[in-house]
Amino acid sequence: MSADVGVAVIGFGLGGRVFHAPFVSAVPGLKLEAIVQRKGDEAAKAYPGTKILRSVHEALTDAAVQLVVVSTPNETHYALAKQALEAGKHVVIDKPFAATSAQSAELVSLAAKKGLVLVPFHNRRWDGDFLTVKQILTDAAVGRLVTYESHFDRFRPMPRENTWKEAGDDANGMLFDLGPHLVDQCLALFGAPETITASVRRDRDDTAIEDAFDITLSYTINGRGLLAHCRSSLLACDAAPRFLLHGTRGSFKKYGLDPQEPALVAGAKVPKMGSSETWLEEKDSAWGRLTVAPKPADPGTLVSQTVKTQPGDYRGFYANVRDTINGTAEQAVKAEDGFRVVRLLEMARESSAAGRTLKVEF
């Protein structure tokens, strides 16, 4: 058995508190050695057996730490990840991977040069609804897919005060907050698109950030066209479907978000991976609906059924990081994926500003 991989989580805001520390702690083979929280005692109360550090330097010079998780304000991701790589640490970077594709490319190159594992935190590949969509596509349940629509909406008509997330920085805003999840899921399902067309906007009456976007990625798969739409808004009081798929045989529609984040915010504890205790399963009232025409020549006769949502589990992300570091598995979310997502988000801005479709080139 390999020794446990020591992990330091830098930052204990929502990301560190909800998405990183609980799942690192729940994966055998990883040890939460340290949390960097510059002030406050929330981390110490939540993890009394873990070292609480007040500076990044302490984490980077700690020989017990092999993996650093960067979960800090967006504009700091590049600098902190670069410092960690230069210190010889493997790195997980919360989204966005970096503020620009140039920064992203530099990090990818540095990690490769040093032989270190660098992983974008594209955890939404382990969402239950996304795993269900993958199965729907694998089974060709809607026939040949022609349109794929993915929404991640919220309702926040007034800017929140005293938060860096509402500060007017290109690394902030909905495009670089939720955009990485939606775009990465498209890349995971369909690969690199041929073109991108986007509208990136400030829809609220008072806002310093981009608070809405519509991105259309076009594909040609087996000689036939496919359009993938990624959409988000802070003015979605009545949310659209999380996923909507249309194909030659029928459609699949799914409302609601994966329940892991709200459960953790409400105080749920993540069980140790491999234990008999089950992690979350979505309530059947939130399951998606598949509607198909069994006989395409008779499109008026439809059959509709609910589809059980597969269990989502962010422990799978960190289990793969562990196995990648130990050399026992292929890296599921590659550093190059982080670069490609950031480049597509940059191109979305370019497309929106120019009012035209752009050819995708990485």
Among positive and negative, which fits the CA dihedral 245, 251, 255, 261? Answer: negative
Percent of the chain having pLDDT more than 70?
A: 99
Return the CATH number of the domain spanning residue range 5-122+316-334: 3.40.50.720
Say which CATH topology domain 125-312+345-354 has.
Dihydrodipicolinate Reductase; domain 2 (3.30.360)
Question: Which stretches of 128-234 are assigned E, i.e. beta strand?
Answer: 145-151, 195-201, 212-221, 224-233
Residue 1 has pLDDT above 80, yes or no: no
Residue 120 identity (one-letter amino acid): P
Percent of the chain having pLDDT more than 90?
A: 93
Dmax (CA) for the chain in angstroms is 68
pLDDT at 169: 86
Is 138 buried (19+), middle (13-18) or exposed (0-12) by CB count in 10 A? exposed
In this prediction, residue 270 has a pLDDT band, given cuts at 50, 70 and 90, of very high
273-308 tens-digit pLDDT: 999 998 999 999 999 999 999 998 899 899 999 999
Give the mean model confidence (pLDDT) for residues 161-179: 90
Question: What number of CA atoms fall less than 13 Å from residue 303's CA on the CB side?
Answer: 9
Do 316 and 126 form a contact (C-beta atoms < 8 A)?
A: yes
Copy the structure tokens of residue 54.
């007040």
pLDDT at 322: 98
Do 342 and 107 form a contact (C-beta atoms < 8 A)?
A: no
Q: What is the DSSP letter of 18?
A: I
H-assigned helices in the chain? 14, 21-26, 42-46, 56-60, 77-86, 101-114, 128-138, 174-177, 179-190, 260-265, 315-326, 335-354
pLDDT at 296: 87
Q: How far apart are CA 252 and CA 305, in angstroms?
A: 10
pLDDT at 13: 93
Do 292 and 302 form a contact (C-beta atoms < 8 A)?
A: yes
Q: What is the DSSP annotation of 32-99?
A: EEEEE-SS-SHHHHH-TTSEEES-HHHHHT-TT--EEEE-S-GGGHHHHHHHHHHTT-EEEEESSS-S
56-110 tens-digit pLDDT: 999 999 999 999 999 999 999 999 999 999 999 999 999 999 999 999 999 999 9
pTM, two decimal places: 0.95
Q: Parse the chain into domains and list their residue ranges.
A: 5-122+316-334, 125-312+345-354
3-class DSSP state for residue 198?
strand
| CA neighbor of 221 nearest in space, from 112, 343, 137 | 137
pLDDT at 2: 67
Residue 189, CA distances (Å) to 34, 127, 134, 234 in order: 35, 14, 7, 26
pLDDT at 354: 98
Give the mean model confidence (pLDDT) for residues 46-61: 96
176-216 tens-digit pLDDT: 999 999 999 999 999 999 999 999 999 999 999 999 999 99
Look up tokens 């939130």; give the residue: 286
214-230 tens-digit pLDDT: 999 999 999 999 999 99
3-class DSSP state for residue 149?
strand
Give the mean model confidence (pLDDT) for residues 123-140: 98
In this prediction, residue 255 has a pLDDT band, given cuts at 50, 70 and 90, of very high
| 169 vs 174 pLDDT, higher one | 174
Give the mean model confidence (pLDDT) for residues 239-254: 97
pLDDT at 168: 85
| CA neighbor of 35 nearest in space, from 49, 52, 18 | 52
